[in-house]
Amino acid sequence: MSTTGVVSPRVATAEGQALTQRKVRIGEVVFRLVLQACLLIAFLFLVWLVSYAVVRGWKRLDSRLWENMPVGRISRIDSAGVQSAITGTLWVILTTAVLCLPTGIFGAIYLEEYADQTKWYNRLLELNIQNLAGVPSIIFGILGLGIIARQFGLGFTVITAAIVLALLVLPIVIIATREAIRAVPQSIRQASYALGATKWQTVSRQVLPAAVPGIATGSILAISRAIGEAAPLIVLGAVTFVTTNPDGLLSKYTTLPIQIFNLIGEAQLGYQEIGAAAIVLLLGIVLLLNSIAIFVRIRFQKRW
Amino acid sequence: MTRTLRRIGTLPRIGSVVAVLAMTLAAAACGGNTSTTGTTAGAAKLSGAVAVDGSSTVAPLSKAAADIFRETQPDVSVTVGTSGTGGGFEKFCKGETDISDASRKIKDTEKEKCTAAGINPSEFIVANDALSVVVSKENTWATCLTTAQLKKIWNQGSTVNNWNQIDPAFPNEPLKLFGPGTDSGTFDFFTAAINGKEDQSRADYTPSENDNVIVQGVAGSKGGLGYFGFTYYEENKDKLNVVKVDSGGGCVEPSVASAQDGTYKPLSRPLFIYVSNKSISKPQVKGFVEFYVSSIDDIVTEAKFVPLTATQKTTLAAELETLKKG
Amino acid sequence: MAVHDITTPAAGSSTSLRRGRRHRGERVIEAFLVVAALVSIATTVGIIVALLQPTLRFFQEVSLVEFFTSTSWTPTFADKHYGVLPLVVATILTTLIAIAVAIPLGVGAAIYLAEYASDRTRRAVKPVLEILAGIPTVVYGFFALFALNPILQKYWPGNEKPGFFNVMVAGIVMGIMIVPTIASLSEDAMSAVPRSLREGAYALASSKMQVATRVVFPAAISGIIASFVLGISRALGETMIVTIAAGLSSDKVIWNPIEAAATMTAYIANVASGDIPVDSIDYTTVFAVGSLLFVMTFALNVLSIRLVRKFREVYE
């Protein structure tokens, strides 16, 4: 009958439908509508959420938000901003990235390229990482409080927050990097070895460059996750009222999610509006990061 | 399928990314406040950090103080946390904070921990508070409640869930209770004053650490009842009615006057800050505390708290002198 | 020239060609990589150590029986009870509501994307789903409390309206948060089902709906179930949404979702950031609850790995 081996499902469906009863066809339509509704409901919530935040925060969505510091006096609400939270977030996230990206990428390289999968300790390592990916973020906060802040004496500072967040998103980086490395075909590696390259040369000059889009996507998503985290930082006592930008890793700090958490709970409407505006700002940042990740994946994705 | 093997390795790429990150970090650092060691106090420019933590009731006062202080001393970074009165003391006694906000006096056990760590807390009463019992605007019947009635509502084991159980004259309206969480010094104080023992309270009310939630909750339910500090009532007068409290001498409404002269019983209380003797030697802390004390009137007005009486102010100044000496 | 014996190094074997000098350098690099991987072990060890000692102290004061069977959790009140059931039930209740929302929406969206949507639609829609997944949970909490709850209160049938805080609104919003996880993973699983299975079914005159529900869905079941378990795990551990919107009441076990109830995570968040003196027994409650939470998510994770392994069908 048809010459090509691949039959598009739509054609098949049309033929299939022609052969089935009428009542099934109505069921088909309903089914499809239900599925579309599922997708639509999820989208509607997203639209509702974003527009609610925008409407609530509209009055404060101006340069005051990033130019000004939080104010401690109700009379000066009009000139309040969240600059300390923005810079605090920048400080914490950049430090987090510096800590977790190399560790995660190199750890993943070990697991994918060097580790003997049959050995029990490597399997334990894998299991451990998969488990950590599912541990609630607040538990990481407890870890930070008990060991890093108190035992190591680092206190409630930028570096403690960065370490805790780095440990939190480390499994994401490792898992994403592993996926990316795994997607590189063996033939690339074999060709490299065939030309006399060492293992590390193969990894660093062939495998990794090929896996960069996947690694980049995973890293950006991990950082995006870290930016939005508030729970572990609450436990770590991210100070609520900070009017200066951090000036070192041992500074006290606040971050956007923490500021939002506090602002929306304040009694004055003015504070709540700033909080909503800060939400819009945070959403904008997260949206930007996610879009970059998606762009990187689509643009640089290799088809093997 | 075959690809040309690339010349540039991955390591230089990673290296350049790290370099960019490092440069951004440095740029952010340059844009932020620089902190150097403090100079002599007084009119001279101070710099450094002052760590304040503790009660969320007193925090607005400290935040206002920090804000006004920043106008004259922009290089001093005053941070104000709200770990609660007890949590604040804990950090204070560990030397992690310089000033502790408190909505109750320091306990003896807490004081012992401090002195054991070499920290002597100096107590300053900075404002008065009149803990206000509030109901919704639609509540026209509960204009005055006795302390006995309040205890009946709030005590541990209470099953009161309707207004007409409090007073048969009240309408048949379900009672919806809101209040601070158990972490709050306000909760500690209210339970001690009304129920007789600190932390002794019925547990089936809607607790919240955010006073705004209590405001919204009470304002939104006809039968709502809640309590919090006077400031929050003052700011939400348009949404809430305040309940006068009768502790045996007639119904007294919380106000600046009744809090200061003590007639609003038993729910008027002083609010404290505690300063560590170790911290006062830091010029920026000394500068901030001096400012706090000398400008207490402005600060209290800004934060809409109940101001100090004249006697309290004299005591305050005297205590500051003692601290500076010793 | 000598012919080198080219053995293809399988991942993990170290029999690639090396020269003596690079051999040492390779070793150093390998050691460095191992250390990086070991950070994850250090994290788990750290978590266990941070949790274990205070938990042990807790159980010296409170019996295991009371912890697991008493139905009131009031460590911060004067009348102290240490039964964890109210927290556990609240956690499970919010999780159930969340997956009741997320599974239909997520699977429905996944089937649509995998079987019905055109390539263009899929490429446009998937990123948007991922964005939904990236929204910070504090924003979801804000949305639940201020936007969704008033609507819920207004249109709720019957006399009993949902409270200012309630389990239901937190659960619903958590469900929305988890939809992308379930949709994305299920869609991946369904897309991985080879075309040949579908085509075989079409060749037998099946309709699209029949193919989707009777061929693709069962074939992808292991991935779909894995997505459910992952979603449950996320819901269990979620903190901000429940802290903001579900309330702090833990004095009794609450089964009615329109009431407020504290989940395990909300309790930890509140107490750990607050007032309780560190050395008291009440502070160790944080760690006891934390340990329980850790054990629950660990068990769930092991289950999910097992499930995936058991049902995985390997396609050529």
One domain, residues B55 and B110: yes
Contact C127 A19 (CB under 8 A): no
What confidence score (pLDDT) does residue A174 get?
92
Clarify whether residues B141 and B223 are in a common domain: yes
Q: Contact, B273 vs B124, CB < 8 A?
A: yes
Q: Which residues 224-253 on chain B approach chain A with CB closer than 8 angstroms?
A: 232, 235-236
Q: How many CB pairs under 8 A join A and C?
A: 316
pLDDT at B43: 60
Q: Is residue B110 part of a domain?
A: yes
**Contact status of A71 with chain B (Cβ, < 8 Å):** yes
Does residue A206 contact residue A290 with C-beta atoms inside 8 Å?
A: no
> Which of A26, A45, A294, A297 has the most C C-beta neighbours within 10 Å, making it the best mutation to test the interface with C?
A45
Q: Which residues of B touch C247 (CB under 8 A)?
A: 206-208
B138 with B75, same domain: the answer is no
Q: Are residues B224 and B162 in the same domain?
A: yes
Query: Based on the domain organization, do B304 and B214 belong to the same domain?
Result: no
Cβ of residue B125 closer than 8 Å to a chain A Cβ:
no
Q: Please give the mean pLDDT across all residues of chain C.
A: 84
Q: For residue B198, which of B287, B97, B276, B107 has the smallest C-alpha distance?
A: B107
| pLDDT at residue C80 in the model | 85
The per-residue pLDDT for range C155-171, each reduced to its tens digit, is 988 878 888 889 999 99
Q: What is the pLDDT of residue A161?
A: 93
Phi, psi of B181 (to 5 degrees): -75, 170
At position C312, the amino acid (one-letter code) is R
The answer on B137 and B117 residing in a single domain is no
pLDDT the model gives residue A23: 56
Q: Which residues contact B315 (CB under 8 A, 6 or more apart)?
A: B125
Mark yes or no for CB contact C164/B216 under 8 Å.
yes
If you measure CA to CA, which chain C residue comes closest to B54?
Answer: C275
Here the ipTM equals 0.84
| Nearest-by-CA chain C residue for A41 | C105
- Do residues B139 and B105 both lie within one domain? no
Confidence (pLDDT) at C16: 45
- CA nearest C154 in B: which residue? B220
In this structure, is residue B70 part of a structural domain? yes
Residue with tokens 């495998």: A207
Q: Please check whether residue B41 lies inside any domain of the structure.
A: no
Main-chain phi, psi angles of A18, to 5 degrees: -65, -25
Of residues A88, B280, A132, A72, the one with CA closest to residue C297: A132
Domain coordinates in residue numbering, chain A: 9-60, 74-300
Say how far apart CA C299 and CA C21 lie, in whole Å.
Answer: 47
Cis peptide upstream of residue B266 (ω within 30 degrees of 0): yes
Find which of A182-186, B253-257, C225-229, C262-266 is predicted with most confidence, using mean pLDDT.
C262-266
Amino acid residing at A74: I
Overall average pLDDT of the C177-187 stretch: 90
Residue C167 φ/ψ, nearest 5 degrees? -65, -35
Q: Can you give the three-state secondary structure of A163-191, one letter per residue?
A: HHHHHHHHHHHHHHHHHHHHHCCHHHHHH
Cross-chain Cβ contact C273/A235 below 8 Å: yes
B174 touches chain C (CB under 8 A): no
> Can you tell me the distance from the alpha carbon of C95 to that of C174, in angstroms, rounded to the nearest whole number?
8
Q: Which residues in chain B touch residue C72, judged by CB atoms under 8 angstroms apart?
A: 203
Q: Check: CB of residue C103 under 8 Å from CB of residue C180.
A: no
Q: Record the tokens describing residue B212, joined without a space.
A: 């705004």
B148 and B231 inside one domain: yes
- Residue C275 banded pLDDT, cuts 50, 70, 90: low
Closest residue to A136, CB basis, from C14, C195, C237: C237
Q: How many angstroms from the chain centroid is the CA of residue A43?
A: 20
Task: Say if residues B191 and B197 touch (Cβ distance below 8 Å).
Answer: yes
CB C29 within 8 A of CB A204: no
Interchain CB distance below 8 Å, C36 and A139? no
Is A142 in Cβ contact with C51 (below 8 Å)? yes
The closest alpha carbon to C211, from B94, B321, B35, A12, belongs to A12
A200 touches chain B (CB under 8 A): no
Domain CATH code at residue B85: 3.40.190.10
Ranges of residues in chain B with a pLDDT under 50 are 1-42
Is B36 a member of any domain? no
CB contact B31 to A (< 8 Å): yes
Number of structural domains found in chain B: 2
**Which amino acid does the sequence have at B284?**
Q
Give the length of chain B.
Answer: 326
Euclidean distance between CA atoms B92 and B278, whole angstroms: 11
Contact check, Cβ <8 Å, C240/A37: no
Q: Does A240 contact B at CB distance below 8 Å?
A: yes
A204 close to B (CB below 8 A): yes
**DSSP letter assigned to residue A114:** I
pLDDT at B10: 44
Q: Residue C300 and residue C305: Cα distance in Å, rounded? A: 9
Instruction: Give the model's confidence band at C277: pLDDT under 50 very low, under 70 low, under 90 confident, else very high.
Output: low
- Structure token digits, residue C164: 């200012």
Is B33 part of a structural domain of the chain? no
Do B52 and B119 reside in the same domain of the chain? yes
> Are residues B147 and B228 located together in one domain of the fold?
yes
Instruction: Evaluate whether residue B294 is within a structural domain.
Output: yes
Between CA B234 and CA B210 the distance in angstroms is 16
* Helical packing angle, A83-109 and A208-227, nearest 10°: 140
| Element holding B208 (H helix, E strand) | strand B206-208
Domains assigned to chain C: 85-311 (1.10.3720.10)
Number of residues in chain C = 316
Contact criterion met (CB < 8 Å) for B67 and A155? no
The reply to whether B165 falls in a domain is yes
B152 burial (CB, 10 Å; 0-12 / 13-18 / 19+) is middle
pLDDT under 50: residue ranges of chain A:
1-8, 11-12
- The yes-or-no verdict on residue C11 having pLDDT over 70 is no
| Parent domain of B74 | 48-127+271-325
Chain C residues with CB under 8 Å of B107 CB are: none
**Is there a single domain that holds both residue B84 and residue B178?**
no
Confidence of residue C10 (pLDDT cuts 50, 70, 90): very low
Output the CA torsion sign for C286, A159, C237, C143. positive
Q: Of B207, B227, B253, at which residue does a domain stop?
A: B253
Cα C241 to Cα C218: distance, rounded to the nearest angstrom? 33
> Which chains sit next to C, with 3 or more Cβ pairs under 8 A?
A, B
Residues of C in contact with B217 (CB under 8 A): 164
Give the tokens for residue B102.
């408190």
User: What is the number of other CB atoms lying within 10 angstroms of the CB of residue C182?
Assistant: 28
Whole-number Å distance between alpha carbons of B292 and B288: 6
- Which residues of chain A does B184 touch, with a Cβ-Cβ cutoff of 8 Å? none
Q: Is B217 on the interface with C (CB under 8 A)?
A: yes
**Shared domain check, B98 and B153:** no
Contacts of B206 in chain C (CB under 8 A): 163-165, 247-249, 260
User: What pLDDT sits at residue B15?
Assistant: 46
The SS3 assignment for B320 reads helix
pLDDT band at C193 (very low <50, low <70, confident <90, very high): confident
Are A224 and A288 in contact by the 8 Å Cβ rule? The answer is no
Count interface pairs A-B at CB distance under 8 A.
127
pTM over 0.95: no
With an 8 Å Cβ cutoff, is B24 touching chain A? yes
Written out in words, the top-level CATH class of the domain with range A74-300 is mainly alpha
Residues of C in contact with A282 (CB under 8 A): 136, 139
